[in-house]
Structure 1
Amino acid sequence: MRAYIVGNVAIDETIAVSELPVIGASILGNAGGSDLGGKGTNQAVVMARCGVPTTLVAPIGRDGRADSIRRYLADEPLRSELIEMDGASSDVSIIFRLPGGENAIVTTTESAQSLSLSHVRRILSTARPGDLMMLQGNLSDQTTRDILEHARAIGMVTAFNPSPVRSYFSDLWHLIDIAFLNKGEAQALTGTTSEDAAQYLLGRGLREIVLTLGGDGATLVNRNGSIDVPARACDVVDTTGAGDTFMAAALASCALRDQRLDRLAIEHAAAAAAITVSRHGTRKAFPTISELEAILR
């Protein structure tokens, strides 16, 4: 099984602040460093470090940020297909990190929104039935729909993280097998943050739903019932990339054991995410290959 992640890649610039600015205010902050990021790329990096054959398809511009992106990805055990978008700048994320480790993120999507199925069709020609397609909310509505439909036609398993939340997601559920949502995403898309959110999505054709609840753990829901898994105790310093780590580690656990999502996969994901939130940064905070081997063995 190969995982194909079609999504965004960005350079993350972190600023540590004591509080978020209000409209019209200027505040002081401390530089928190630069790193590789973007939800699609985060998920691909963790998936590949878990030992799953991984292809990342991501759009970039022709600029200095693109050069940095290539250098970062050269260090990762994945196949990267970076597509240069004419006239677009490589995307960047500005991360405001609060003292308790929580964050607020603003991401540009000039490159991500320019990507279309025509750009990735050749790359997906190597995909086979049973391979995994992972998508997030950074691409345009038409491209997201087209890629999901293309993946379904191939016979791939489709996994979706509806973040950032977009209004058109409600029209996509019939194309998705697995969804990972946090409390805010569940509330925005279903009107509830409880297990009712998962039942709503099951009713729209999804096979499995994972609700991530931060310090309260996570809940896996399928047609056989629900499984609650507590969060791992840890000192939280930076939550950037935690959800991406969780999703990738859970799906990798299943792929490596040739199983559907189960309690063990969610436990593996919780352990991996606990490592990510205990460190500052994005890619550099993710569990290492050896750490993931220890979790997944």
Structure 2
Amino acid sequence: MARRIAVVGSINMDLVTQAPRFPQPGETLLGEGFVTVPGGKGANQAVAAARLGAEVALVGALGSDAFGELLRAGLLREGVNLDHVRRLDEVASGTASITVAGGDNQIIVVPAANARVTPAHVESARQVLARADAVLVQMEIPLEAVEATLRLGRSLGVPVILNPAPARPLPAGWLEQARYVTPNQHELATLLGADPAEDFRALMRRAPVPVVLTRGHEGAWYREQGEPAHQPAFEVQAVDSTGAGDTFNAALGVFLHEGLPVAVRKACAAAALAVTRLGAQQGMPRTHELDAFLAG
């Protein structure tokens, strides 16, 4: 049977401009390319989970604008249930304006409709969360909606995976509601109010909740009890790391029923496949591709 995944999170249209360099204040500069790309951590994780064979429902918000129509259509094509994605007339859809130059980028995110996701909105999706095998939530929506998701998932007995990005300090009482948190080292230090230079294994031991820590080309570390365990990364030729973290989180949720070590291994493999292709959602692998990769 397909796993049932509920995602509570953001939906954005990424507006990506390529330029020879970043313009100075007040300067007009000719760009080298422009593309619109569906994004937002909630939408990305929903698409990644759907491609891995899960039955996915997304809880979020869109504006009633052209970007909202495009984003909605794309998610429906991927098979994501949008019954709890609200269409708001008074605000625009979320956007991320990204300028890429010299291998670096500058980003301005306008949450817009994403900022209107409320605890009441989450509560209205109670039945969706109740029947889920896992719930994924990130921090590109208001923190009160994140807390509502954590507490509702705990009360329903459904494992909630908190991807704490963008990182902000959270009360320990909130973190304890999650089944797992999935930060990188900087995000974990921010969550705990600690020094990012502190050894990451020590940070994992101090966390009030089991941690699955992503380490980029080193793979991932995970801990439920005792000492952290290591899952090495899969060696691939990286092309674009955009969306790799979202792919990792989605795969972790989809395969969590197989046990944490197996889920982390498959999540690392899915993320490795994602970085071999351009784009966030475009590069996310499907089930047969992941199976073939692991078999090989």
TM-score w.r.t. structure 2 length? 0.86
Residues paired across the two proteins, number: 288
Aligned residue in 2 for 1:66: 68
CA distance in 1, matches of 2:205, 2:23: 37
Residue 192 of structure 1 pairs with residue 206 of structure 2: no
Following the alignment from structure 1 to structure 2, what is the Cα–Cα distance between the partners of residues 20 and 183?
A: 29
Q: Mapping of 1:116-135 within 5 angstroms?
A: 116-128=118-130, 131-135=133-137
Closer/same/farther in 2, CA of residues 293 and 124 from structure 1, 3 Å limit: farther
Aligned counterpart, 1:217: 219
Matched, 1:92 2:90: no
Partner of 1:45: 47
- Residue deviations 1:251-284, cap 9 Å, x none? 2122xxx23311x322222221122212221211
Contact 1:251 1:261 in 2 (8 A): no
TM superposition shift of 1:286 = 1.2
How many angstroms does 1:195 deviate by? Answer: 1.2
Cα distance, 1:58 vs structure 2:
1.6
Query: What's 2:267 paired with?
Result: 269
Q: Show the counterpart of 1:292.
A: 290
Q: Return 5+ residue gaps in structure 1 as ranges.
A: none
Aligned mates of 2:128, 2:189 — CA distance in 1: 37
Structure 2 residue runs without a partner (length 5+): none
1:91-240 paired onto structure 2 within 5 Å: 91-97=94-100, 105-128=107-130, 131-168=133-170, 172-189=174-191, 190-192=194-196, 194-201=200-207, 204=208, 206=209, 208-240=210-242
- 1:33 touches 1:281 (CA, 8 Å); kept in 2? no
SS at structure 1 position matched to 2:251:
helix
The alignment-based identity, stated in percent, is: 28
Contact 1:50 1:249 in 2 (8 A): yes
TM value normalised by structure 1: 0.86
| Alignment root-mean-square deviation, CA | 2.5
Change (3 A) 1:198 1:239: same
User: Mean Cα displacement is larger for which, 220-229 or 168-177?
Assistant: 168-177
Query: CA 1:234 to 1:75, structure 2 compared with 1: closer, same or farther past 3 Å?
Result: same
- SS in structure 2 of the partner of residue 127 of structure 1: helix
